[in-house]
Amino acid sequence: MNIDFKKLPKPAREFTCFLNLIIEETLTTFPINFALTYIRCHKKGCHGNISSKFDPDEDAIHWRCNVCPTGGIITNILEKP
């Protein structure tokens, strides 16, 4: 399915870009323990930064804010043969 990124609502585009930053930062170093990044939390009013780690067993990136309870898991990161 091809989705025209420009036709997505602004909040969806912004959150997609936010998750892309997390993926790029995490896959640069593949930390197995939470590592603090330069990425600011996307929650309105929060001034925290995102920590992330890569879990090779789950093929997932876990991320969380160091100030508020915002966080999540991004799955199916690496291409499967």
The CA distance from 18 to 28, in Å, is 16
Q: Which residue type occupies 78? A: L
Q: What's the mean per-residue pLDDT of the chain?
A: 91
pLDDT at 4: 74
Q: What is the pLDDT of residue 31?
A: 94
**pLDDT for 2:** 67
What residue segments make up the domains of the chain, in order of their start?
31-81
The stretch 17-24 carries a mean pLDDT of 95
Residue 9 to residues 3, 14, 15, 22, 23, Cα–Cα distance (Å)? 12, 9, 10, 20, 21
What are the tokens at 32? 């197995």
Mean pLDDT on 16-35: 94
> Tokens 């998750």 label which residue?
19
